[in-house]
Homo-oligomer: A and B are copies of this chain.
Amino acid sequence: MSKATIYDVAGAARVSLATVSRAINNPEKVKPETRERVLRVIEELGYKPNAFAKGLASRKSTTVAVLVPDMSRASMAEMMNGIADIARVYKYSILLYILDSEDAPEEDILKEIVAAQVDGILYLNDEITPKQFEFLRTIKNSYQIPIVLTNTIYPDSDEIPSVSIDYEKAGYEMTKKLIDEGRKNIYMVSTVRKYMVNDLKETGYLRAIEEASLTPKIMRTSGRISINTEHFNEYFKDHKVDGIIAVRDSIAVSFMNVARANHVHIPENISVAGFQNTKYAQLARPKLSCVDVPIYDIGAVGMRLLTKLMNEEVLEERRVMLEHNLILRETTR
């Protein structure tokens, strides 16, 4: 069962290889009966065009590169499912590049991507630094490769299209919710490292807090569970707090564990909310209220957008914002 080539097909169908190629790629240019004969032979022989030869001759790879800084984030995996499903529909293959550091990707990766001749690039991250943005611009402009940012937004430019939710609005809404409950000392627990989307969540938080003439209080923690515990204990010994909005569900749950250890009741004494609606949120007790981020859809829509770009269609929207929901469970009242 060694691989059939286009010559084998052409021979068996008694046509030239050019006709076989057309029957596959431009069926309308081939007489129906010829086409069917060719297609039947293809079926019989289990012929599949060699991707390298095709790529070399056509200068198109029908492959997209997915750049991921760190696969282990739960959201990345789910986003991949959305991407893969749409990629399949449009017949694109996925080349996966996991970037090792969180710095700007190195020259090496760039060269690899260029050499791989990908037709498009999806950049998955909730962070994007100016340096990384420059890197992407270089690829885009020097090599004419379309790029879509997935789950992040670059604030200063819409040169590279993006798909996400409106994180600013989500941050605003959740904060507003706690304010409406009568909370006065609402903290946003964000991360030490500056993530673009966490920044947006903070902006939304600040807007709501200001509108209500409250005092903004942002606490920055590492994402590491083991460190969080001490950190929270220390911090809230001296601080009044009756509301917590964490930028990630897992941080919210971490906080709840500390609160419970200190005999603080949720939601009686404190309201708590997270972001993402992960399994953590459902498994926590009380069940965590949070912003639901349609992460699968973000991946799927991002990939769909990229196919349009690769087809040189005009985008009616360069910053796509999908709908989100506030899921109110047991940690708010």
Contact = CB atoms under 8 A, between A and B. Distances in A.
Interface in A219-270: 225-226, 250, 253-254, 257, 260
- What does DSSP make chain A's interface, helix, strand, loop or mixed? helix
Q: How many copies does the complex hold?
A: 2
A260 B260 CA distance: 15
A81 interface: yes
A229 to B, nearest CB: 10
A95 B116 CA distance: 11
Interface stretch (A14-22, A65-73, A148-156): A65-73
Interface string A275-296: 0000110111100000000000
Contact of A280 (B51, B63, B280): B280
Given A71-B78, A81-B72, A280-B283, A116 B96 contact: no
Interface residues of A, number: 56
Contacts of A257: 283, 285
Nearest to A98: B84
Contact of A250 (B50, B70, B283): B283
Interface string A61-89: 10100100011111011101100110010
A80 B124 CA distance: 15
A117 interface: yes
A32 interface: no
A215 interface: no
Given A72-B77, A257-B285, A280-B279, A56 B48 contact: no
A93 interface: yes
B48 A112 contact: yes
With most chain B CB atoms within 10 A of its CB, the pick from A94, A283, A284 is: A283
Nearest to A296: B72
A114 interface: yes
A32 B279 CA distance: 58
A102 interface: no
Interface of A: 1-3, 46, 48-53, 55-56, 61, 63, 66, 70-74, 76-78, 80-81, 84-85, 88, 93-98, 100, 111-112, 114-117, 142-143, 225-226, 250, 253-254, 257, 260, 279-280, 282-285
23 contacts: A1-B142, A2-B143, A48-B112, A49-B115, A51-B52, A51-B117, A52-B56, A52-B61, A70-B81, A71-B84, A77-B77, A84-B97, A88-B100, A93-B112, A93-B116, A96-B96, A225-B279, A225-B282, A225-B283, A250-B279, A250-B283, A253-B283, A257-B285
Pairs of residues from A and B, 3 with the lowest C-beta to C-beta distance, nearest first: A84-B98, A52-B55, A52-B56
Given A76-B77, A260-B285, A280-B280, 16 more contacts: A48-B111, A48-B114, A50-B56, A50-B117, A52-B117, A56-B56, A66-B96, A71-B78, A72-B77, A72-B81, A80-B96, A81-B98, A84-B96, A93-B116, A250-B279, A250-B283
